[in-house]
A and B are shown apart, each in its own frame.
Chain A
Amino acid sequence: MSIRHGLLALLERGPRYGSQLRTEFESRTGATWPLNVGQVYTTLSRLERDGMVAQSGEDAAGHALYTITEDGRTELRTWFEKPVDRTSPARDELAIKLAMAVGAPSVDIRDVIQSQRRHTVKAMQDYTRLKAQALAAVERGGARERDDVAWLLVLEQLIFQTEAEARWLDHCESRLIRLSATAPGAPAGPAAPTVPGASAAAPEAPAVSAAPRAHDTSTTGTPGAR
């Protein structure tokens, strides 16, 4: 996450002091990626060292104000113009976990998939409720509209991301079922029918993970609404 560029973007709208930058950053992103004031000042002093911001006196309350420099503006423009690199993906714990669960002796990969699916769908439920609130805020309009729109976009990104993950999990499960159906003894765990009629052939087949699990009470890392 680029705190550096985020701060430059906020400073482009006028001089600001450290805790003000933190508040504005969090209003835009709904505190999805919380910043502490220390990170803000560390980043500001690096930006100052690199000549992208300059201190420009104090406001009436004695806060040290920072202003973007011409170099800072150039850096910011480049950031907006240049796409975020997706060709060297960050390490994804879930993909690694499923890759390791294929054929692992101690775990049924379908259990791993289902427990992740529950967690992912739960996170989507939380994001969707926050989105409904953000949408209502945007429709009301008002002074904070720009921040509300920014927050809505961030939430929708989270929803798209979790949706992609949920779909991928469904896909993994059905692929494993298909593979185990064609290759007996494959590592997908007990074969389960994918078509309604198929269960007729084996009504005594063990129901996979038929016992309801304990309810998930863990938090899902939900960003708070403001």
Chain B
Amino acid sequence: MSTQQPVLQLQNLTRVHGSGATEVHALRGIDLAVYPGELVAVMGPSGSGKSTLLTIAGGLDTPSSGRVIVEDTDITAASVKELAALRRRSIGYVFQDYNLIPALTAAENVALPRELDGTSARKARVEAVAALEEMGLGHLADRFPDEMSGGQQQRVAIARALVGDRRLVLADEPTGALDSETGESVLALLRSRCDAGAAGVLVTHEPRFAAWADRVVFLRDGAIVDQTVRSDADSLLSGQVAEA
């Protein structure tokens, strides 16, 4: 894993809101690299900076200092136009409230970022249906958002986030509006996309959902204070049991 290039790199990232007496340090020197095939969960109490981290990683907000590198591009140095292109081509974003466009079917929603990026409508549609089918959502292709359950909408949103060549998915409390069973199915899909080579960052305050990640990063007061390291899969499977 470490021989590969990270899909996302955050380097000494800081974000300060306001100035002077009302200054708020939302992020204080964050370093994080996310590799292909890796799902990283970011946990922390509210106000610890989780969502700020994700919006900056996705180019939806700019850092006060530090760098955000997606694939090979420093998005903090990109022009507005370059950034918009990068967001369409490289970064998928999944929000708590699904954010599907109500007037479009699932397939049209998934096809949209490709069409905006210049792919023909026909080709984009074929790709979208293929992406939905690959994720076991083919039966939803012609449904509108209000004809789908929350869990189905969120899975379609994940398909949209990863359609085409995009392999970075940033998910901000994607299970926040779902019951725990449905939340599990959304996480299982996110997990399987990362197993298939995508890189994911998941912000959540639910330990049960964070547990699907390879690595859990703990944020507090804008700084990473701790993280878990994935155990060796082989030792996990060999039936070893720690002596109590």
A residues sitting closer than 8 Å to B (CB atoms) are 31-32, 34, 114-115, 117-118, 120-122, 124-130, 132, 159, 162-163, 166-167, 170, 173-174, 192-200, 203, 207-213, 215-217, 219-226
Contact = CB atoms under 8 A, between A and B. Distances in A.
A214 B200 CA distance: 24
B236 A225 contact: yes
Interface string B1-43: 0000000000000000010011111101000000000000001
B191 A193 contact: no
Interface stretch (B88-96, B138-146, B213-221): B213-221
17 contacts: A31-B239, A117-B218, A118-B228, A121-B43, A122-B216, A128-B208, A159-B211, A194-B45, A198-B47, A199-B25, A200-B18, A207-B223, A212-B226, A213-B226, A219-B240, A224-B240, A225-B237
B119 interface: no
Nearest to A31: B239
Contacts of A220: 231, 242
A195 B49 CA distance: 11
B242 A121 contact: no
B244 interface: yes
Interface string B113-128: 0000000000000000
Contacts of A209: 220, 225-226
Given A196-B26, A217-B229, A125 B211 contact: yes
B191 to A, nearest CB: 7
Interface of B: 18, 21-26, 28, 43, 45-47, 188, 191, 207-208, 210-214, 216, 218, 220-231, 233, 235-242, 244
A215 B229 contact: yes
Contact of A159 (B208, B233, B242): B208
A62 to B, nearest CB: 28
Contacts of B238: 224
B40 to A, nearest CB: 11
A224 B226 CA distance: 26
Nearest to A122: B228
Nearest to B51: A196
Contacts of A207: 28, 220-221, 223
A225 B239 contact: yes
Candidate in A128, A130, A163 with the most chain B CB atoms within 10 angstroms: A128
A162 B210 CA distance: 12
Contact of A216 (B25, B223, B228): B228
B228 A121 contact: yes
Given A114-B218, A210-B223, A126 B241 contact: no
Contacts of A166: 207
Contact of B221 (A192, A219, A226): A192
A224 B24 contact: no
Given A34-B241, A121-B228, A212-B225, A224 B43 contact: no
A79 B182 CA distance: 34
Given A208-B221, A220-B231, 17 more contacts: A115-B226, A117-B218, A124-B207, A125-B231, A129-B236, A163-B211, A194-B46, A194-B47, A199-B24, A203-B25, A207-B221, A220-B242, A221-B241, A221-B244, A222-B231, A223-B239, A224-B240
